[in-house]
Amino acid sequence: MNETKNSIYFVGIGGIGMSALARYFRHAGWLVAGYDRTPSPLTAALEAEGIAVHYEDSVDRIPEAFRDPLKTRVIYTPAVPVDHTELCWFRTQGFEVLKRSQMLGLLGEGRRVMAVAGTHGKTTTTTMVAHFNAVAAGEGSAFLGGLSKNFDSNLVLGAGLRMAVEADEFDRSFLQLHPQSAVITSVDPDHLDIYGTYEAVREAFAQFAGQITPGGTLILKKGIELPVERADIRRYTYHVTDSGVDFHAENLRVDGGGYYTFDLVFPGRRIERCRLGIPGLVNVENCVAAAALVWSEGFVSDERMREAIATFRGVQRRFDFWVNDPSVAGGTIYMDDYAHHPAELRAMLSSVRKMFPERELTVIFQPHLYTRTRDFAPEFAEALSLADRVWLLPIYPARELPIPGVASEMILDGITTPRKRLISKERLLEEVAALATGGVLVTAGAGDIDRFCAPVAALVQRKNGGVG
């Protein structure tokens, strides 16, 4: 990169991937600032770390130190509108302007890039890879799509050449990467506003897999079929329990809190009595995928890998238990999850059902994007029908304008669970307060529903204080 430039400006700095890059450059000694649409805990954390952030799309708000194209590089997220005032000004003034994914690709040059791709499951799996690298291999950096509870960040700075990255398929961003090793967790239809067809999604994933460097490794979840004809890479499969694949788990045992103990099986290697530090069968599958990717680059010992698995603490908003105290007899369990695609919503709810089969399951779901709701309303309804009670919030629009006729009612109408209805964010806490104690409560979605996690958890804990 051009070393005459010493400042970097982020348009959309509050995104999870953008903020990781901002932290990286701040740590490397660059002058960093940026714009985001609204304040959030992430932007507050950036500001506390000394990064200037403003929330008005105005050229006048760009700090003076970032107004010279000879000294400043600009990074933007494709979630920002193409007519964004600041972004347009930077382009017309001759600044070097790069997408977030382009910069991530540049940072990967000369490193051992370990990429996790998939329409769901990639954030937890990537974060596991980062933790397993640190504990079992003793090295590695990472750019994560969520906040790791082990590292208390979405950025990991460690020794060595390993670099774990979440390979995002949105806007074909992952095609900027040329990894040494890669896992693909799922290839489901998503982002059809970008791709148009499911076949185009599959073609993009095949192209990503085809960009693995010669001598590298591709690890696919069983059932994923991609037209990747590469004799110069190793190719493996994984599954949570199927013994017919290269990587899987055996002898699974689950305790009352949903925590699993199992044997981890690699080609020619078995690590017995692994106990994953977070609950849920879906996370055992993520663990198998992450361990397989670390195996492809090597780790110190079985004991160190067993330690890495046991000490993994999860990712904020991924199968994230806020209230789960087994000592409170008859208390409500509360968890939150980022699930915003039908397949990941189904996987999450199925895991919760297996963990707590005797408890009543209530789900509060906030649909994300009008296009995704339009394209997958029946699939969302089918997944949500796994719950005993479903409350739907209005659609979170994110980058989109409303589409006539598209609303949460499209999902509601297809849910077969009798106890279902629409609620507003304004009444969410009131509705939770009226719930009977003793079941499992789940909030899910990729919008701003996470801002209710702390008050919902506090309310549940107060209600639990009156039982047992």
Amino acid making up residue 22: A
CA angle 54, 57, 62 (to 5 degrees): 55
Residue span of the structural domain in which 268 resides = 108-310
Residues 155 and 300 in one domain: yes
The highest-confidence range among 72-86, 221-235, 284-298, by mean pLDDT, is: 284-298
Helix (H), strand (E) at residue 207: helix 198-210
Which of 248, 277, 310 marks a domain boundary?
310
* Count of beta carbons in the 10 Å neighbourhood of residue 129: 30
Q: Is the pLDDT of residue 54 over 90?
A: yes
| Of residues 298, 345, 369, the one with CA closest to residue 442 | 345
Over the stretch 106-136, which tens digit does the pLDDT of each residue have?
Answer: 999 999 999 999 988 889 999 999 999 999 9
Q: Mean pLDDT across the chain, nearest whole number?
A: 92
Q: Is the dihedral of CA 390, 395, 398, 400 positive or negative?
A: positive
Q: Is the pLDDT of residue 394 over 60?
A: yes
Which of 283, 310, 337 marks a domain boundary?
310
Q: Is the pLDDT of residue 192 over 80?
A: no
Query: Is 352 within 8 Å of 440 (Cβ atoms)?
Result: yes
Over the stretch 276-304, which tens digit does the pLDDT of each residue have?
Answer: 999 888 899 999 999 999 999 999 899 99
- Residue 423, pLDDT score: 95
Residues 329 and 300 in one domain: no
Q: Model confidence at 41, in pLDDT bands (50, 70, 90)?
A: confident
Residue 1 lies in a domain: no
Query: Is 254 within 8 Å of 245 (Cβ atoms)?
Result: no
| Of residues 133, 144, 166, the one with CA closest to residue 298 | 133
Query: Is 34 within 8 Å of 61 (Cβ atoms)?
Result: no
Which of 66, 100, 134 marks a domain boundary?
100
Query: Is 204 within 8 Å of 221 (Cβ atoms)?
Result: no
Residue 179, judged by CB atoms within 10 A of its CB (0-12, 13-18, 19+), counts as buried
Residues 287 and 328 in one domain: no
Query: Is 211 within 8 Å of 179 (Cβ atoms)?
Result: yes
> How far is 289 from 30, CA to CA, in rounded Å?
35
Question: Under DSSP, is residue 185 helix (H, G, I), strand (E, B) or coil?
Answer: coil
Residues 354 and 438 in one domain: yes
- Residue 327, pLDDT score: 65
| Of residues 432, 437, 454, 430, the one with CA closest to residue 364 | 432
For the segment 132-157, the average pLDDT, to the nearest whole number, is: 94
Pull the structure tokens for residue 174.
């992952």
What radius of gyration, in Å, describes the C-alpha atoms of the chain? 22
CA 144 and chain centroid, separation: 8
- Residue 384, pLDDT score: 97
Number of separate domains in the chain: 3
Q: Is the pLDDT of residue 228 over 90?
A: no
Residues 235 and 330 in one domain: no
* Count of beta carbons in the 10 Å neighbourhood of residue 45: 17
Residues 257 and 290 in one domain: yes
CATH number at residue 57: 3.40.50.720
Residues 277 and 135 in one domain: yes
Q: Model confidence at 3, in pLDDT bands (50, 70, 90)?
A: low
* Phi–psi pair at 75, nearest 5 degrees: -115, 135
Q: Is the pLDDT of residue 328 over 90?
A: no
pTM, entire model: 0.81
The DSSP string of 112-173 is EEEEEE-SSSHHHHHHHHHHHIIIIIS--EEEEEEEETTTTEEEE--SSSEEEEEE--GGGG
Residues 37 and 157 in one domain: no
Residue 315 lies in a domain: no
* Count of beta carbons in the 10 Å neighbourhood of residue 283: 27
- Residue 317, pLDDT score: 80
Residues 343 and 447 in one domain: yes
More confident residue, 118 or 171: 118
Residue 213 lies in a domain: yes
Over the stretch 402-451, which tens digit does the pLDDT of each residue have?
Answer: 999 999 999 999 999 999 999 999 999 999 999 988 999 999 998 899 99
Q: Model confidence at 9, in pLDDT bands (50, 70, 90)?
A: very high
Residue 2 lies in a domain: no
Q: Is the pLDDT of residue 371 over 60?
A: yes
- Residue 467, pLDDT score: 61
Pull the structure tokens for residue 312.
């993994």
CATH number at residue 386: 3.90.190.20
Residue 240 lies in a domain: yes
Residue 232 lies in a domain: yes
Residues 271 and 336 in one domain: no
Residue 460 lies in a domain: yes
Residues 382 and 290 in one domain: no
Query: Is 210 within 8 Å of 200 (Cβ atoms)?
Result: no
CATH number at residue 283: 3.40.1190.10
Residues 218 and 288 in one domain: yes
Write the CA distances from 93 to 31, 70, 89, integer angstroms: 20, 11, 6
Residue 350 lies in a domain: yes
- Residue 119, pLDDT score: 84
Interstrand relation of 72-76 and 96-99 (parallel, antiparallel or unpaired): parallel
